[in-house]
Amino acid sequence: MDSQYKRLKVLIGDDHQVVREGLRMILGLRDDIQVVGEASDGHEVIALAEALRPDVILMDLRMSSMNGVEATKHIKDLYPEMGVIVLTGFGNDEYVFQSLEAGADGFLLKDASPEELTEAIRRVAQGESMVTPSILRRVLDRVYQSPQHPEELVEHLTKRELEILAALAQGMRNAEIAQELHITERTVKTHLSHIFAKIQARGRVEAILYALREGLVEVPLTSTQSRMT
């Protein structure tokens, strides 16, 4: 490997040692990923996140002392640029919503394939997001049942910001949005930062869900299942 090549630093947070060892083994086979630490509860995750500054954290939800939802919220408040992927064996909707509202950038079940896991890490490290399709379906079902009040949000977003938010909800990556709107990726990232600040979203997933809930964009479930920014 080129000595100049930057490996993605990953921190694993899970209270089961066998799970941590399994994840370390899987990720150890990837040349572009390095597991820099392991934690068994939320407090340890936060401490190691501060010390090691990983690119991505794999976060279990059910941990002793402090659970994954609380740890995720704490970390995203302190380090919004740090990616968090919730990895759990539980498909309970409330855990999904709580973790996404806490700012998680991705949500995978523990039966995800090694390829899905590594793809999620790479995408989240690039500032994108990834949600297991089965989980996304339930999230969207709930979002579409929520009351809509689009006027207030429309007043705060510019036309260009609405265009980018719609593209985001359609599953487009930053490079694709830039190409579609004939702007640079850096400009896309700047607009996204403004959008997140205006709607008080901690990340891309929360921004998309907010837009869907407020009726600003409509995304067919079938297309969103196959791609998630």
Furthest-apart CA pair in the chain: how many Å?
A: 53
What does the pLDDT read at residue 148? 52
CA distance 167 to 32: 29
**pLDDT at 97 > cutoff 60:** yes
CA distance 12 to 21: 10
Pick the range with the lowest mean pLDDT from 13-17, 20-24, 90-94, 146-150: 146-150
- pLDDT digit string (tens) for 28-60? 999 999 999 999 999 999 999 999 999 999 999
Q: Are 87 and 110 in contact (CB under 8 A)?
A: yes
Return the number of other C-beta atoms located less than 10 Å from residue 86's C-beta.
28
Span 64-82, average pLDDT: 89
CA 223 to chain centre: 18
CA distance 83 to 165: 20
Q: Residue 122 corresponds to which amino acid?
A: R
Q: Which CATH number fits domain 147-226: 3.40.190.10, 3.20.20.70, 2.60.120.10, 1.10.10.10?
A: 1.10.10.10
What are the CB-based long-range contacts (under 8 Å, 24+) for 116-124?
117/23, 117/26, 117/27, 117/87, 118/26, 118/27, 118/30, 118/33, 120/85, 121/8, 121/10, 121/27, 121/33, 121/56, 121/58, 121/83, 121/85, 122/8, 122/32, 124/56, 124/83, 124/84, 124/85
What's the mean pLDDT when you consider all of the chain? 81
E-state strands within the chain:
8-13, 33-39, 56-59, 83-88, 106-109, 130-131
What does the pLDDT read at residue 21? 95
DSSP secondary-structure letter at 40? S
Domain positions in the chain are 8-131, 147-226
Q: Does domain 8-131 have CATH number 3.40.50.2300?
A: yes
Length of the chain: 229
- pLDDT digit string (tens) for 123-162? 899 888 877 766 666 666 665 555 555 455 556 889 899 8
